[in-house]
Amino acid sequence: MDLYRIAASAAILALLISPARSDSSCGELEKYLKGSDQVFPANRGERRQNENRWKARAPFRGGDCEIAATFNPREFKFDCSFNTGGADGVRLASYQSLGSYVQNCLNSLESRDDWRKRDTSRTEFGGRMIAETTWTWTMLLNAIERQVVVSNDSGGPSKGESLLVVIWRERPKD
């Protein structure tokens, strides 16, 4: 029995201090949160049908991820959909997991106090409940805004999915 406890303790300790474990605390998301607008074009892969959408080079936690660009105002967007066609319970669990992941990632950043968290959940027409959380970081001096949105529904035509969106905007200075 003691041999099993020692083996289990060693396995848990190895997981806690392994490089893979420490890397997953923020993973692919961190570069979009800390970087500038150049991070988005540097991480795009093949072009999608629309000329301003690309498949993301590195998939994020198994999601279907795209990078989009709009140029007026200057905006880059990284969005990933998960569990397409999934049941409500699966989407809610995915939403909670993604929300915890984003919060842990933001907590590990030096700028963690600059991120404002808001519950942006809503009820759609017809009584359908959308669980959503939005984190925003604004640098007024440079007119830059970063935003992370986690939702249990994409709001688009394929409604059965969870969504993670990271947006980087540069607002025109007045």
Q: What is the mean pLDDT of each run of 10 residues along the chain (174 residues)?
A: 43 34 63 81 83 82 82 79 80 87 89 88 82 88 85 70 82 61
pTM over 0.85, yes/no: no
Neighbours of 43 (CB within 10 A): 19
Helix runs in the chain, H state only: 2-17, 19-23, 29-34, 39-42, 88-107
pLDDT score at 6: 39
pLDDT score at 100: 92
pLDDT digits (tens, 9 = 90+) for 54-69: 888 877 777 888 888 8
Q: Could you tell me whether strands 129-130 and 64-71 are parallel, antiparallel, or unpaired per DSSP bridges?
A: unpaired
Distance CA 89, CA 99 (A): 15
CA-CA-CA-CA dihedral for 63, 64, 70, 75, to nearest 10 = 10
Q: How distant, in Å, are the alpha carbons of 5, 21, 110, 168 from that of 84?
A: 40, 27, 34, 25
pLDDT score at 23: 43
pLDDT score at 164: 82
CA geometry: angle 166, 105, 96, nearest 5 deg: 75
pLDDT score at 103: 92
Backbone angles phi, psi at 83, to 5 degrees: 55, 40
pLDDT score at 116: 92
CB 131 within 8 A of CB 152: yes
Q: State both tokens at 56.
A: 């993301």
